[in-house]
Amino acid sequence: MTHAGASDPGLNQSPPFVDIDLFGSDRPLRDAVIANGARDDIDALGQLGRHWGRADMAELARLADIHVPRLEGDIVIYHPAYHRFMAESMAAGLHNLTWTNAGAAAGPPSEVARAARFYMVAQVENGHMCPVTMTRAAVAALGASPDLLVRVMPKIQTRTYDPAFRSWTGKSAITLGMGMTERQGGSDVRTNTTRAHRDGDIYRIDGDKWFMSAPMSDAFLVLAQAAGGLTCFFMPRFRPDGGVNGLHLLKLKDKLGNRSNASAEVEFRNAYAIRVGEEGRGIRTILQMVQLTRLDCAISSAGIMRAALARAVHHARHRAVFQRKLIDQPVMRNVLADLALDAEAALAAVMRLCRSFDLAATDALEAARARVLTPVIKYWVCKTAPAFVYEAMECLGGNGYVEDYALARLYREAPVNAIWEGSGNVMALDLLRAMRSGEDIHHVIRALADEANDCPGAAEEIGRIERLLASSDLEIHARRLIESLALIAATAALRNSGSGIAAIFSQSRLNGGIGCRNYGAAPLAAVASQVLERALPD
Ligand X SMILES: Cc1cc2nc3c(=O)[nH]c(=O)nc-3n(C[C@H](O)[C@H](O)[C@H](O)COP(=O)(O)OP(=O)(O)OC[C@H]3O[C@@H](n4cnc5c(N)ncnc54)[C@H](O)[C@@H]3O)c2cc1C
Residue among 247 and 332 whose Cβ is closer to ligand X:
247
Least gap, CB of 14 to ligand X (angstroms): 32
Determine if 207 is a binding residue for ligand X (CB under 6 A).
no
End-to-end, the C-alpha distance of the chain in Å comes to: 24
Least gap, CB of 193 to ligand X (angstroms): 13
Residue among 101 and 423 whose Cβ is closer to ligand X:
423
Selected binder of ligand X within 169, 288, 425, 530 (CB under 6 A): 425
Selected binder of ligand X within 180, 327, 381, 488 (CB under 6 A): 180
Here's the x/- map for ligand X, 248-287, by CB under 6 A: it reads as: -------x--x----x------------------------
Which residue(s) pair with 202 in the sheet? 199
Selected binder of ligand X within 68, 419, 468, 514 (CB under 6 A): 419
Determine if 181 is a binding residue for ligand X (CB under 6 A).
yes
Selected binder of ligand X within 179, 236, 386, 457 (CB under 6 A): 179
Q: Which residue is nearest to ligand X (CB)?
A: 186
Residue among 41 and 296 whose Cβ is closer to ligand X:
296
Instruction: Give the number of other CB atoms < 10 A from CB of residue 212.
Output: 23
With contacts defined by CB under 6 A, name the span among 85-93, 141-149, 171-179, 387-395 that binds ligand X. 171-179
Residue among 130 and 360 whose Cβ is closer to ligand X:
130
Between the alpha carbon of residue 236 and those of residues 188, 216, 230, 271, 451, the distances in Å are 25, 10, 19, 9, 47
Instruction: Give the number of other CB atoms < 10 A from CB of residue 126.
Output: 30
Determine if 420 is a binding residue for ligand X (CB under 6 A).
yes
Among 427, 343, 354, 341, which Cα is nearest to 385's? 343
Q: Are 323 and 517 contacting, i.e. CB atoms less than 8 angstroms apart?
A: no
CA dist., res. 374 & res. 368, Å (int): 10
CA dist., res. 99 & res. 290, Å (int): 16
Among 99, 136, 534, 106, which Cα is nearest to 348's? 534
Least gap, CB of 503 to ligand X (angstroms): 34
Q: What is the DSSP letter of 237?
A: S
Instruction: Give the number of other CB atoms < 10 A from CB of residue 372.
Output: 24
Determine if 301 is a binding residue for ligand X (CB under 6 A).
no
Determine if 217 is a binding residue for ligand X (CB under 6 A).
no
Residue among 109 and 375 whose Cβ is closer to ligand X:
375
Pairing outcome for strands 229-236 and 324-325: unpaired
Least gap, CB of 381 to ligand X (angstroms): 16
Among 363, 178, 187, which Cα is nearest to 289's? 178
To 5 degrees, how large is the angle CA 351–CA 353–CA 354? 65
Q: Are 96 and 156 contacting, i.e. CB atoms less than 8 angstroms apart?
A: yes
3-state SS track over 41-58 = HHHHHHHHHHHHCCHHHH
Least gap, CB of 183 to ligand X (angstroms): 8
With contacts defined by CB under 6 A, name the span among 29-37, 86-94, 415-423, 482-490 that binds ligand X. 415-423
With contacts defined by CB under 6 A, name the span among 12-20, 324-332, 418-426, 436-444 that binds ligand X. 418-426
CA dist., res. 304 & res. 55, Å (int): 17
Residue among 416 and 482 whose Cβ is closer to ligand X:
416
Residue among 53 and 424 whose Cβ is closer to ligand X:
424
Determine if 132 is a binding residue for ligand X (CB under 6 A).
no
With contacts defined by CB under 6 A, name the span among 2-10, 148-156, 166-174, 180-188 that binds ligand X. 180-188
To 5 degrees, how large is the angle CA 455–CA 456–CA 457? 110
Cβ-Cβ contacts under 8 Å for 188 (sequence gap 6 or more): none
DSSP symbols for 271-337: EEEEEES-TT-HHHHHHHHHHHHHHHHHHHHHHHHHHHHHHHHHHHHH-EETTEEGGGSHHHHHHHH
Least gap, CB of 536 to ligand X (angstroms): 30
Residue among 190 and 324 whose Cβ is closer to ligand X:
190
Determine if 212 is a binding residue for ligand X (CB under 6 A).
yes
Residue among 68 and 426 whose Cβ is closer to ligand X:
426
Q: Are 141 and 180 contacting, i.e. CB atoms less than 8 angstroms apart?
A: no
Number of residues that bind ligand X (CB under 6 A): 23
With contacts defined by CB under 6 A, name the span among 4-12, 175-183, 401-409, 455-463 that binds ligand X. 175-183
Dihedral angle computed from the Cα positions of residues 410, 415, 416 and 417, in that order, rounded to the nearest 10 degrees:
90
Residue among 349 and 416 whose Cβ is closer to ligand X:
416
Residue among 115 and 478 whose Cβ is closer to ligand X:
478
Cβ-Cβ contacts under 8 Å for 329 (sequence gap 6 or more): 321, 322
With contacts defined by CB under 6 A, name the span among 66-74, 112-120, 207-215, 398-406 that binds ligand X. 207-215
Here's the x/- map for ligand X, 183-202, by CB under 6 A: it reads as: --xxxx--------------
Selected binder of ligand X within 63, 68, 426, 459 (CB under 6 A): 426
Residue among 110 and 181 whose Cβ is closer to ligand X:
181
Here's the x/- map for ligand X, 388-407, by CB under 6 A: it reads as: --------------------
Residues lying near ligand X in the complex (CB under 6 A): 177-181, 185-188, 211-213, 255, 258, 263, 416, 419-420, 423-426, 429
